[in-house]
Amino acid sequence: MVFKDDFVGPLQFLLMPTDKISGIESPRLLSTSTPNFFYLAWQARHFLSERRGKPIGDRDLSLAINSAYGRTQNQLNIHISCLRPDIRERLDNDAANISTEWQPLAQPILCHKYLARRISTAGLAAQSPFLLLAREVPDAAEEMGEYGMALAPLLDGSLVLLASQRSLLHRNTGTIEEIQDHSCAILNGH
């Protein structure tokens, strides 16, 4: 189900499964029979335009799920919201260096280390990003609760998956929602 989060920002929505799934650490997310919640959340982005009363371009939007250590609820929820303008600029600048394999971004985002992986819209529809992270990043399957994940569009129409692993040393709780701006400043002037 998709819910309007009335407590945080004018346009933030949450995709939440109707079944009890604790969060990114749930083994259910690594089953191929589990719905592809990231794809479903991306398909629900139209709710922001409807709420605003005029179109919002995909490049202004993002999805995020926080780690088990960086969330406030014990129920899987994917934040559907605006992308921070500085993160939009950063992803545009880094786009040429983002491949179809997980790799660290050259520079931290908001002082946190991030992995990035390019994916097509068809690729997003075909396979859950949770499975991609678990299968392609060493040790991630055993430590899924340590990761926050996000999705945002790139200049060429492809998408970027972002992942950040909790690190107490680097004061990172895996709250990847940090790349979002629930006040939607990116829409100023649109």
Q: What is the pTM of this model?
A: 0.94
What's the confidence (pLDDT) of residue 174? 77
What would the two tokens of residue 70 be? Answer: 């960086």
Buried b (16+ CB within 10 A) or exposed e, 139-161: ebeebbbbbbbbbbbbeeebbbb
Which CATH homologous superfamily contains domain 2-187? HIT family -  CDH-like (3.30.428.30)
What's the confidence (pLDDT) of residue 166? 85
What would the two tokens of residue 127 be? Answer: 């396979």
What's the confidence (pLDDT) of residue 190? 63
Local confidence pLDDT in tens for the 190 residues of the chain: 997 877 777 889 999 999 999 999 999 999 999 999 999 999 999 999 999 999 999 999 999 999 988 888 889 999 999 999 999 999 999 999 999 999 999 998 988 999 999 999 999 999 999 999 999 999 999 999 999 999 999 999 999 999 999 876 777 777 899 999 999 999 997 6
Tokens 């995709």 sit at which residue?
15
How far is 136 from 116, CA to CA, in rounded Å?
A: 12
